Amino acid sequence: MTSAEQRWRRRTPDDASLPGSGSSLKRSLGRIDLTAMGVGTIVGAGIFVITGVAAAEKAGPSIVLSFGLAGLVCVLVALCYSELAAMVPVSGSAYTYTYATLGEGPAFLVGWNLLLEFVIAGAAVAIGWSGTTVSALDSMFGITLPHAITAGPGEGGVVNLPAVLIIAAIVAVLVGEVSLTARITKALVAVTIGVLVLVVAVGAPHIDPGNWAPFAPFGWSGVIGGAAIAFFAFLGFDVVAASAEEARNPKRDVPFAIIGTVLIATLLYALVSAVLTGVAPFPTLNNGAPIATAFGALNIGWIGNVIIVASIIALTKGLLLIVYAQVRLSFAMCRDGLLPRRLAATGRRSTPVRLTLVLGVGCAAIAGLLPIDIVVELVNIGALSAFAVVCVGVLVLRKLEPNRERPFRTPLVPLVPILALLGCALMAFTLDELTWVRFAIWVAIGVAVYLGYGRKHSAFAATRVPVAPRS
């Protein structure tokens, strides 16, 4: 086949559903495990930080509506994810779905962009974990760690050692059986949700309705601007789709977990933001610890320490699941030959040990040595590009294979995918120009990697005998 034909040659959903290349993962996750992973990824650091920033800078008390709007867009995207996840129940998430709908070249770029999202997000969360933990040690126990070992060279230090150590601990967990990861995740999710319920229960009696007036001080533009920020707090539900190959009944449980994850997160964000803006004037919430700030004004400061501990727990489980997702995505790309296939080898516990170690080292190097503040928006644009492609994939596959069995069907096609695309575009256009430039550079590097390596080593292309051209 010609190189152009190969770049656009797509797998059928049947092809994409085959693990292939000798490596497969153990199916041990139920719908509760999958939902816990999704909720654990979304309800992480965002709920402890995003709520305050979005309320103070964009929406005021109408941040509740902003979270509802962002949640609606995510539900639309989740419905599209669910159809493809049920049809193609293997590792790889949007990468695998794109392979089955748009072809190998676009699939590589989607996977490449998701890899950017996961690696940078993992490093950023590790740095956040380090900062929160260092602050907690100082405020709660009077232990002050030297700046040289708590910040990278770009911030006047030598290495962010706590960030490196937490990634090392996460890697140690992930090279074990996935069932251990699931058990740890469920425990951490339970603790985090318990603390958030405590926040709502303790704060509700102290709500002053006067703090909700005016409800939308910045108008509808503020509600939409708040939704653009709030949307990023929902990123991560695709970790459920990335774990489809380890689900016991992926065609039933993955769609359930994806949609359930988004709905649970939307409810939690809305409740917490309503309590925060009711307990304290919204301008006071513009800081890194809005929940502790709000409750500190009520003279019940004991909950501040609870929130700090909960933040550390939330960051820990968020990091665990981000690294888990980047490993599963890369596993699919390596197994397909688009990245070095040797890395996809699984150990005696059916986990990709080599790949986990390589990605862990890379993530730790970024977290330990580099400041992430400049490039963190690349996380968002990488995710939004993948979400948009999934929505397009649903439309394409409905056109190409309308009679194929679909265990889960996205309702109201083409309306739902089109609305999801418009929502993603709205969020993407709020990002600054420099982010788009950096994203273009990353995509250009990806094109070079695909043309120089992936196209030549593609396992799928090797299994297809070229058809002789007609004379």
Annotated domain spans of the chain: 27-453
Residue 44: pLDDT over 80:
no
Residues in a beta bridge with 150: 160
What mean pLDDT is predicted for residues 229-239? 75
**Average of per-residue pLDDT across 410-421:** 94
User: 311-342 as b/e, with b when 16 or more CB fall inside 10 Å?
Assistant: bbbbbbbbbbbbbbbbbbbbbbbbbbbbbebe
- Residue indicated by tokens 């989740």: 78
Q: Which residues pair with 29 in a beta bridge?
A: 247
Q: What is the pTM of this model?
A: 0.76
Residue 264, token pair as written in the block? 């649970």
φ/ψ of 29, rounded to 5, equals -105, 130
Q: Identity (one letter) of the amino acid at 418? A: I
258 falls in which pLDDT band (50, 70, 90)?
Answer: confident
pLDDT of residue 418: 97
Residue 248: per-residue pLDDT? 80
Q: What is the mean pLDDT of residues 154-161?
A: 87
pLDDT at 18: 47
For residue 18, count CB atoms less than 10 angstroms from its CB and return exposed for 0-12, middle for 13-18, buried for 19 or more.
exposed
Task: Please determine, looking at this structure, whether the domain spanning 27-453 carries the CATH number 1.20.1740.10.
Answer: yes
Q: For residue range 304-361, what is the model confidence (pLDDT) as tens digits?
A: 677 778 778 878 877 887 888 888 888 889 988 999 988 877 777 677 888 889 888 9
**What 3-state class would DSSP assign to 262?**
helix
State how far the alpha carbon of 66 is from the alpha carbons of 58, 227, 270, 305, in Å.
Answer: 9, 4, 9, 28
Q: What is the C-alpha to C-alpha distance for residues 104 and 5, in angstroms, rounded to an integer? A: 10
Beta bridge partners of 160: 150
**pLDDT bucket at 277, cuts 50 / 70 / 90:** very high
Q: What angle do CA 3, 7, 12 make, to 5 degrees?
A: 130
Please say whether the beta carbons of 462 and 399 come within 8 A.
Answer: no
Confidence category of residue 122, pLDDT binned at 50, 70, 90: confident
Residue 465's pLDDT band, with cuts at 50, 70 and 90, is very low
pLDDT band at 22 (very low <50, low <70, confident <90, very high): very low
Residue 17 scores a pLDDT above 60: no
DSSP for 359-396 reads HHHHHHHHHHH---TTTTHHHHHHHHHHHHHHHHHHHH
* Closest by CA position to 248, among listed 239, 259, 257, 261: 257
Judged against a pLDDT cut of 60, whether residue 16 lies above it is answered with no
* 170-223 per-position pLDDT tens digit: 998 888 765 666 677 777 777 778 878 888 888 889 899 999 988 999 888 888
